[in-house]
């Protein structure tokens, strides 16, 4: 599967609220880094390890944001994976902020996923605490 197809299928999984589809793209021992993780564990390093831990976070996200929707902006190929620019709708910010995610892959699966929020999204999330 091409990186672009992986990204599109991943986003379609999110938009369809199909976590099995989303998580099918992650290696069993995948690493996930995000400010979302840091909000839940301020003393941690913002990192989850393993598909099971990633699933738990995704389940909480869908429960908290039942209208969450992703809009793809761009897919940028990288030597070890892909960079994705997308907008998240119906979360903290009044306007959908641009989010950047990197996916490192091996054997067609995501081994590392790092999320970077836009300044708008960071401000909106920390205002809501």
Rounded Cα distance between 124 and 45, Å, is 21
- Domain map of the chain by residue range? 3-127
3-127 in CATH: which number?
3.10.450.50
Rounded Cα distance between 63 and 66, Å, is 6
Strand pairing category for 26-33 and 109-116: parallel
The pTM (predicted TM-score) of the whole model is: 0.86
Quick: pLDDT tens for 87-119.
Answer: 988 776 667 778 899 999 999 999 999 999 766
pLDDT at position 1 over 90:
no
Rounded Cα distance between 102 and 83, Å, is 4
The mean pLDDT value for 25-37 works out to 93
User: Please, is 119 exposed, middle or buried when counting C-beta atoms within 10 Å of its C-beta (0-12, 13-18, 19+)?
Assistant: exposed
């Amino acid at each position: 599967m091409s990186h672009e197809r992986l990204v599109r299928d991943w986003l379609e999984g999110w938009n369809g609220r199909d976590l099995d589809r989303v998580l099918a793209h992650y290696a069993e021992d995948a690493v996930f880094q995000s400010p979302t993780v840091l909000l839940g564990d301020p003393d941690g390093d913002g990192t989850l390890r393993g598909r099971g831990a990633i699933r738990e976070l995704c389940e909480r996200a869908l429960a908290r944001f039942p209208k969450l929707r992703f809009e793809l902006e761009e897919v940028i190929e990288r030597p070890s994976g892909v960079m994705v620019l997308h907008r998240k709708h119906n979360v903290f910010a009044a306007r959908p902020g641009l989010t950047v995610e990197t996916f490192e892959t091996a054997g067609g699966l995501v081994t590392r996923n790092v999320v970077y929020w836009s300044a708008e999204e960071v401000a909106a999330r920390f205002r809501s605490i």
